[in-house]
Structure 1
Amino acid sequence: MGGKSVSLAKGEKSKGEKPKGKKSTGARFRDLSLWFVLVAIVSLFFADIFLYQPDPWEEFTRIGWGMVTPFWPDANELLMSALYTVSFALLGVAVSAALGVLLAIWFHWRVVRVFSAVIRSVHEIFWGLLFMQVFGLSALTGLLAIIIPFAGIFAKVFSDVFHQQSSATVDTLAGSSRLSRFFYGWIPQAWPAMRSYIRYRFECALRSSAILGFIGLPTLGFHLETAFRQGDYSEAAAVFWVFLLLIGTVRFWFYKKLLPAYLLGAVFMLPEMPPVNASFVWQFFTQDLWPSPLLNGDLPGAMSWYGNVLADEVGPALIQTIAITQAALVLSGVMALAWYPFASRWLVGRYYWVGRFKLLVLRSVPELMLAYLFMLLFGPSALPAIFALALHNGGLIAFLLANHSQDASSQQRLDSPSGLARYFYQDLPQRYPAFLALLFYRWEVIMRESAMMGVLGIATLGFYVDSAFEEIRFDKAFFLILVAAALNVIVDSLSRRLRRAAGLKTPRM
């Protein structure tokens, strides 16, 4: 034949050709995002969204005036509350970080992974309500409420950090015990990342410590809730600004050299511990937390009891909790993508600090405080919870994305586009994988917070937990807490599977 013919064998692919049916990374990210948006839209039809206030803007005006006219009659009282808040956070993080390291060492055991997932899936408010029945409004209640879930969080994060380290140094310790390999091999390598995360988790502990005041502990949240309930928004603003100042200045006073002195001072600053009857503690955990049919060996009666609680309370609460979670998750993503460019100097120039200050406020204020504020404006429906969760988590994700954008700006070309083109065509495509990873990472957290919102009267799982404690139905409260934990474990597992399927790496906090 005059020319050389070249043909491909059946089933053979030309170089660079994408296999049929194989989606590109961008297409997978697009489809995943659209599915979550669709689920969020459907969830809105199930969420209890209703405006109870006829004119919320009048109340909003009073709150706004209070925010610019802060006043507190007793400065010593406010200072003591701030010190209590810091003390709970410091000791809680110190103990939970140590426990987290120990759990991370044996995180390859399934029982340790499940145990860590369960304890971190229960919100600090629920732990506080549980231990308050035994230890009252004491220091031990506040510390345990922070230590237990934070230990599970540290275990998960530290385990991920260890897996990201090089094994070359550890290989030289072959033959040593597992503890030796970790303390002389893995931990020294991972320490910079661990130290950075401990600092971040301390900020989270400050927020947790503050909101424990909503159940009566003498932290800043106690005075904030009291001032809001009394309609004294100037006093509420004073508490708010003190808390924001506390969070915003952490980097200036949280020095590792002073940490021993801080911890020693925190021990002496804790509220007094009332005497505890050991027999009462034993009775609470062995009898009060379990329904009487189960204690009497009546298995059919116990199944009937659990079935009634599932039908009457768990079912409606789950619908509201999941609906709020999904709506808040997508709204958090929308807000994060809209806000982060205004906090990146590379994208908006020298006025980026305005955007960073806004994100500092949003990520510093606990969701419960924001929800309480919106509840005063719109009433106890799902709307305040969705707004509060979206503002806080959207602000946090936007802050991290802005940091990533800043870090990558030094690697950009001089002929990069400017303005909106720089955001839409250059920076956003680079940030989107990290954005999705962060959103999936916060999914579990938003679910925990959605369940907890019930303590404000919103019809999520926390509402029924709080009601059960008020009715001294400890067995029902404990069962509802276990349901909330199981829901979070499921969401955490689903989030990890979706991250792996989409090829997303563990987000850098």
Structure 2
Amino acid sequence: MSKTSKELNVSLVFLAVFVVCLFFADLQISAYEPFLELGKFFISIKDINFSSIDLLIDATLQTIYIATVSIVFSALIGFFLSFYFKYTIVRVILAYIRAIHEIFWALIFLQIFGLNTITAILAIVLPYSAILTKVYAEILEEYDTFDEKTVSKNASKLSLFFYTKLPNALPHIVSYTLYRFECAMKSSAILGFVGILTLGYYLSSSFMQGYYHEVWLMLIIFYILIASIKFWFNKFTVLILFIISLLNMQISASSFSYDNFIRFISIDIIPSPIRNDESFLELLTWFNKIFVNEIVPGIFNTIVLTQISVVLTAVLALILFPLISYRFTNKLFRFFSNIFLVILRSTPEYILAFLFLSVFGVSMLPAVLALMLHNGAIIAFIIGKQSNELDYVLDKSRHLNLYTYEVLPKLYNSFLAFLFYRWEVIMRESAILGILGVATLGFYIDSAISDIRLDKVVILLFFTALLNISIDLISKKVRDYLRTKSTITTCGCELK
């Protein structure tokens, strides 16, 4: 079977699943006059004022401090664990840890540390360490190709690592880590939605009160932060920023309770039938009730939301990428198109979903729009950059023919690779967006935490991780089937 036939088969399967999922998706607009509210949001940009700038500067600094400390610890842990990633037990444990969204981790650590900076750091460090371990291990494996004939037989493995493998792999490790810091900034910001005093805390408060001019000010501050990262966070400044962050973070040791920690691990997460010395049959009844009423509908809705978002992400990316390609647009248009894509990909899905929730009401629609815009912009940006590196044959004056018969066929394999790398990410975000009211797994997890049913939370998180791990494995199988050429060094930094 040819590569083109395989790409077509995979695309048709995803389109078929998309159509089926549409029948089960709740995409209704429940808000009264939603477009009036959306208009109010955009018009309010003219009312921006700087009266609360002092408070926002402090929140911005806390966002930076948490992201900096988190990424440094994550990189150190990830680099150390990358040497043990070859062991199955390590891969399985890390797959479980990285499959759980940082907001879920934050909700768990809130039970132990309270509304504390430590909660935010741990919530980021755990999944990020697991992600960085996997990526570092794959990067190092790619550079395990030196010729044994050129290496002294007396050379130790340690010497070979530091003088052959690491120098070649280090630029890609640094590049990916710097990208991961941008993700840490987004994670640090959205943890404000669960009560941590970062930008997200004030952003959610202003959203709920309808103070959209304040929302705009915070979003602009955040965009400036993300756009300027390369100027103030790099391999030369990271140590200085790390020390400054440690010295200035708002950490309250008094909020940590040793008794709460012991209670959490020895009582709270133990299934209630076991705690109450009930029979095995009663334990099965307890689990069956959770499985039927929460796990099954939660997984179903998460999959429906994910598959609709994946296809719409693909469509949007295919529409948007020509906007930054020199074969389709002029220099001025590309400049503004790049800014547009940077804004979309820099805005976390959670913030976009929160905005659309305020406009359209509770349904899958806000989540679909958020996932589509954010991930579509990321893939469009990558594919658009790749399109500028192609050697063209057809006349660029006929844009439709150029797009259909030359650009798309050449880029489609890479496009699918990038889409399937994002598939796992979209699944993780689909689960967490349930906190905003969509009945995905996140909805039931948030409800269980609100009811202080931490035993139920552990069960729900297990199935959330299992679902994400399954999608990751399927995605890898699909990429192998398509024989995509993209590797961690060519696309990892933009996709993880």
TM bin (shorter chain): over 0.9
The match for 2:462 among 479, 482, 500 is: 482
Aligned residues of 1:173 and 1:181 also touching (Cα < 8 A): no
Does residue 122 of the first structure (1) align with residue 104 of the second (2)?
A: no
Does residue 348 of the first structure (1) align with residue 329 of the second (2)?
A: yes
Q: 1:271-297: CA deviations, max 9, x gaps? A: 122332323212212221121323448
The match for 1:436 among 411, 416, 428 is: 416
Please name the residue that 1:393 is paired with: 375
Aligned residues of 1:340 and 1:401 also touching (Cα < 8 A): yes
Does residue 268 of the first structure (1) align with residue 247 of the second (2)?
A: yes
Name the amino acid aligned to 1:337. L
* Aligned-pair identity (%): 37
The match for 1:332 among 288, 313, 321 is: 313
Name the amino acid aligned to 1:484. T
The match for 2:60 among 82, 93, 98 is: 82
Q: 1:357-392: CA deviations, max 9, x gaps? A: 111011000000100111111111011101100100
The match for 2:167 among 184, 188, 194 is: 188
Name the amino acid aligned to 1:311. V
List aligned pairs for 1:119-198, cutoff 5 A. Answer: 119-168=97-146, 172=151, 181-198=160-177
Q: Structure 1 residues 243, 423: CA separation in 2 closer, same or farther (over 3 Å shift)?
A: same
| 126-135 or 295-304, which deviates more | 295-304
The match for 2:353 among 340, 346, 371 is: 371
Q: Distance in 2 between matches of 1:414 and 1:342?
A: 18
Please name the residue that 2:297 is paired with: 316
Name the amino acid aligned to 1:225. S
Aligned residues of 1:57 and 1:377 also touching (Cα < 8 A): yes
Q: Distance in 2 between matches of 1:239 and 1:108?
A: 43
Aligned residues of 2:206 and 2:212 also touching (Cα < 8 A): yes
Q: What is the TM-score of this pair, normalised by structure 1?
A: 0.91
Secondary structure of 1:168's partner? Answer: coil
Q: Distance in 2 between matches of 1:227 and 1:362?
A: 20
CA drift of 1:492 comes to: 0.6
Q: 1:424-445: CA deviations, max 9, x gaps? A: 2222222111110111101110
Aligned residues of 1:332 and 1:390 also touching (Cα < 8 A): yes
For this pair of structures, how many residues does the alignment match?
485
Q: Structure 1 residues 71, 159: CA separation in 2 closer, same or farther (over 3 Å shift)?
A: same
The match for 2:426 among 446, 454, 470 is: 446
Does residue 293 of the first structure (1) align with residue 282 of the second (2)?
A: no
| 488-497 or 159-168, which deviates more | 159-168
Aligned residues of 1:170 and 1:181 also touching (Cα < 8 A): no
Does residue 248 of the first structure (1) align with residue 227 of the second (2)?
A: yes
The higher radius of gyration belongs to 1
Secondary structure of 2:328's partner? Answer: helix
Q: Structure 1 residues 93, 178: CA separation in 2 closer, same or farther (over 3 Å shift)?
A: farther
Q: Distance in 1 between matches of 2:346 and 2:143?
A: 31
Q: 1:5-63: CA deviations, max 9, x gaps? A: xxxxxxxxxxxxxxxxxx21001101101110110111111122221013111101110
Please name the residue that 2:403 is paired with: 423
Aligned residues of 2:392 and 2:406 also touching (Cα < 8 A): no
Secondary structure of 2:472's partner? Answer: helix
CA drift of 1:166 comes to: 4.8
Aligned residues of 2:111 and 2:260 also touching (Cα < 8 A): no
Aligned residues of 1:294 and 1:301 also touching (Cα < 8 A): no
Please name the residue that 1:468 is paired with: 448
Secondary structure of 2:330's partner? Answer: helix
Q: Distance in 2 between matches of 1:170 and 1:70?
A: 64
Root-mean-square deviation (Å):
1.9
Q: What is the TM-score of this pair, normalised by structure 2?
A: 0.93
| Structure 1 unmatched runs, 5+ | 1-22
Please name the residue that 1:215 is paired with: 194
Name the amino acid aligned to 2:386. H
Q: Distance in 2 between matches of 1:76 and 1:170?
A: 60
Aligned residues of 1:97 and 1:154 also touching (Cα < 8 A): yes
Q: Distance in 1 between matches of 2:66 and 2:311?
A: 33
| 497-506 or 174-183, which deviates more | 174-183
Q: Distance in 1 between matches of 2:300 and 2:63?
A: 34
Q: Distance in 1 between matches of 2:153 and 2:87?
A: 20
Q: Structure 1 residues 371, 302: CA separation in 2 closer, same or farther (over 3 Å shift)?
A: same
Please name the residue that 2:363 is paired with: 381
Aligned residues of 2:345 and 2:378 also touching (Cα < 8 A): yes
Secondary structure of 1:271's partner? Answer: coil
Q: Distance in 2 between matches of 1:479 and 1:272?
A: 31
Q: Distance in 1 between matches of 2:462 and 2:157?
A: 33
Q: Distance in 1 between matches of 2:3 and 2:161?
A: 36
Aligned residues of 2:78 and 2:136 also touching (Cα < 8 A): yes
Q: Distance in 2 between matches of 1:173 and 1:109?
A: 28
Secondary structure of 2:252's partner? Answer: coil
Please name the residue that 1:456 is paired with: 436
Q: Distance in 1 between matches of 2:148 and 2:369?
A: 47
Does residue 104 of the first structure (1) align with residue 66 of the second (2)?
A: no
CA drift of 1:451 comes to: 0.3
Q: Distance in 2 between matches of 1:150 and 1:359?
A: 25
Q: Structure 1 residues 198, 150: CA separation in 2 closer, same or farther (over 3 Å shift)?
A: same
CA drift of 1:180 comes to: 5.4
Aligned residues of 1:105 and 1:182 also touching (Cα < 8 A): no
